[in-house]
Amino acid sequence: MANAQQMANAIRALAMDAVQQANSGHPGAPMGMADMAVALWGRHLKHNPTNPQWMDRDRFVLSNGHASMLLYALLHLTGYDLPLQELKNFRQLHSKTAGHPEHGITPGVETTTGPLGQGLTNAVGFALAEKLLAAEFNREGHAIVDHHTYVFLGDGCLMEGISHEAVGLAGAWKLNKLIALYDDNGISIDGQVAPWFIDNTPQRFAACGWNVIDAVDGHDVEAVAAAIGQAKASVDKPTLIVCKTAIGQGSPNRAGTAKAHGEPLGAEEINLTRAALGWSHEPFAIPESVYADWDAKAAGQAAETEWTLRFAAYEAAYPELAFELSRRMAGDLPRHFAQVAVDTVVAAHTKAETVASRKASQIALEAFTAQLPELLGGSADLTGSNLTNTKSTPALRMQASGAVARTEDGQVGRHINYGVREFGMAAIMNGIALHGGFIPYGGTFLTFSDYSRNAIRMAALMKQRVIHVFTHDSIGLGEDGPTHQSIEHAASLRLIPGLDVWRPADTAETAVAWSVALSNRNKPTALLLSRQNLPYAPKKDLGDISRGAYILSEPKDIGLKKRAQAVIIATGSEVQLALAAQKLLAVRKIAVRVVSMPSTTAFDREDVKYKQLVLPAGLPRIAVEMGVTDFWWKYGCAAVVGIDTYGESAPAGVLFKHFGFTAENVADTVRAVIGAARRKTAR
């Protein structure tokens, strides 16, 4: 190839020019990693700028997402649909060059990065998805799924605790097609990291089962390219390449200092840098010869064409496999999914079992995992509690050779033991979903959603179909006490834009929640499930459950021929309290409607007409949920039976009485609300 130094300097120039024009950004990391980028993108990366979604492309993740101008420069220079004007609009409103890379906004960006450590963890998910799809679909002479995942990362990514979770799992899974290039420049915002970051990173990775290539000169393109070639030869380990670099490389006065990290270099320093680099071109001006050196369109089209021919041969030999792989990579559910969903919900309604909603979830999963091979489950060391495993999802295991282990009947494992790694599990699931081919779901206790919250938020931001199974959803878990009892978590999750939250009351609602979650191809879902058994709530109609809230019981349904005087809104395990309170009130000739609201987020999307049908104006509303009360006032409630303190350690039944979660207290609350309304009317 032509002048590698000029190719790297083009990245440096674009980075410092864009940051300077925006008067905001991080020029140092792109300048320091420019030579690494030339080695990877110029010598090894398999991609097609004219088709960023080509199935068998290599995946590239910029985990240190503040270095976004590195990625934007690469996408522009190699020929993606990212014109120079977008680089000039860096960090500006509605541009395709946001402050940190955003998936779905900029062509070629595989995942949204910025929260450090999560990009590395997403990359583990990418690499795992590739490995599992290859094991499932490739046949002798037909390596249809065969690509690498590359990730650039920095000191900050390694300081974040999630990196430990990701690195450990990548080693355990022997993800040999995962190659991480560590920008070892020793600088973070506060300066030299040595006083607070003394980890022996190579030894740490080696201890976790990684192949480590240490002390590579990150400014020597040939040395980095050779290290990548060596890493690609690994058959049983992921690889870390430690690239020694200087942040802000090329800047006479800022290189190697924290001043290069998060602020423009300034006009004077940029001029000095141009001179030092021998880059005499105006801001944002790239010579045609450099564009020609970087242009990857022809090579990318040739690589994809060659793969397309191989896929055609594969399709001829294995038409069913080819169809299934294409369907799953497109994110389409099987054609018979709608019928499977209906059958699952109707079966739950017909059996009317009294089980915990976590068990109801497993019952639904038995049906769905049997029919959807793309469902890839798991749990953070709580499989027996979360009940995320089924007969169709054998445990995922790896052989000593690095190959995916198979069951006696040749199946690849579909249930992952993530270990006690909630955050890592959530971010890995994001990577799996982004890669395509699987719908990931994973379980832990609801209170531990705090650990994984930022990854849940990222799934919502990226509109990814990821399903979180959260069990032990209230003080109903009993003796484990307040450390494990969720109080604010349901309300907190409902605040995340784009996240569907379901807290079902019985087997039918749980089956509906799962069917909706699987259909939500553009949003993640959180299922909040009980530890304790819940009686089935009789229903006249199943059709409105998916709307998030529905009329479960009217006064006439329990023999009271009066119009409702109030509405009790309940979720999850508290629906049974609402129904019991309705009967207690009926003895006193007080008529109430019971509304089950398994998903406030789904109900909030409904039109006004339906909302008014379920919650009529003029009827006092009383909400019942074992969680903080603040959330419920938005529905115009006159009272909320909730809990605004932490829980206690005691048997569940004792706690329910202690905190007022009894039918009698709910009935008394309704009577007080109706009485207050009458007195107000009388005045």
Is 115 annotated to bind a ligand? Reply is yes
- Give bridge partners of residue 356 from the DSSP assignment: 533
Tell me what percent of the chain is helix, strand and coil, each rounded to the nearest 5.
45, 15, 40
**Separation of alpha carbons 448 and 469, rounded Å:** 11
Task: Name 216's Cβ contacts closer than 8 Å, sequence gap at least 6.
Answer: 223, 224, 227, 241, 242, 243, 244
DSSP string computed for 241-297: EEEE--TTTT-TTTTTSGGGTSS---HHHHHHHHHHHT--PPTT---HHHHHHH--H
Is 349 annotated to bind a ligand? Reply is no
Is 392 annotated to bind a ligand? Reply is no
Is 484 annotated to bind a ligand? Reply is yes
Q: How far is CA 190 from the centre of its chain?
A: 30
**Separation of alpha carbons 51 and 425, rounded Å:** 30
Task: Name 280's Cβ contacts closer than 8 Å, sequence gap at least 6.
Answer: 274
Is 76 annotated to bind a ligand? Reply is no
Task: Name 251's Cβ contacts closer than 8 Å, sequence gap at least 6.
Answer: 16, 28, 31, 260, 265, 269, 272, 273, 276
Sign of CA pseudo-dihedral 323, 327, 329, 330: positive
Is 100 annotated to bind a ligand? Reply is no
C-alpha dist (Å) from residue 461 to 160, 455, 466, 496: 21, 10, 12, 9
Is 448 annotated to bind a ligand? Reply is yes
DSSP secondary structure letter of residue 332: P
**Separation of alpha carbons 587 and 562, rounded Å:** 12
| Amino acid letter, 427 | A
**Separation of alpha carbons 15 and 279, rounded Å:** 13
Residue with tokens 């959803």: 473
- CB-side exposure of 572: number of CA atoms within 13 Å? 29
- The pair of structure tokens assigned to 9 is 């300097």
- The pair of structure tokens assigned to 192 is 């030299």
Is 385 annotated to bind a ligand? Reply is yes
Task: Give pairs for 340-346: CB < 8 Å, separation 24+.
Answer: 340/367, 340/368, 340/371, 340/372, 341/511, 341/515, 341/518, 341/519, 343/367, 344/368, 344/511, 344/514, 344/515, 345/508, 345/511, 345/512, 345/515, 345/542, 345/545, 346/542
DSSP string computed for 619-675: S-EEEE-SS-SGGGGGGT-SEEE---S---SS-HHHHHHHTT-SHHHHHHHHHHHHH
Is 480 annotated to bind a ligand? Reply is yes
Is 148 annotated to bind a ligand? Reply is no
Residues with catalytic function? 422
Sign of CA pseudo-dihedral 245, 249, 252, 256: negative
Is 155 annotated to bind a ligand? Reply is yes
Is 114 annotated to bind a ligand? Reply is yes
DSSP string computed for 130-166: HHHHHHHH-BTTB--S---EEEEE-HHHHHSTHHHHH
CB 68 within 8 A of CB 97: yes
CB 518 within 8 A of CB 337: yes
Specify the 3-state DSSP secondary structure of 484: coil
Is 683 annotated to bind a ligand? Reply is no
Residue 509 is inside which H or E element, if any? helix 507-519
- The pair of structure tokens assigned to 441 is 């779901």
- Per-residue HEC secondary structure of 18-70 comes to HHHHHCCCCCHHHHHHHHHHHHHHHHCCCCCCCCCCCCCCCEEEECCHHHHHH
- Mark the binding-site residues for Mg(2+), compressed into ranges: 155, 185, 187
Annotated binding site: 26, 66, 114-116, 155-156, 185, 187, 261, 358, 385, 448, 472, 480, 484, 531
Binding-site sequence positions for substrate: 26, 261, 358, 385, 472, 480, 484, 531
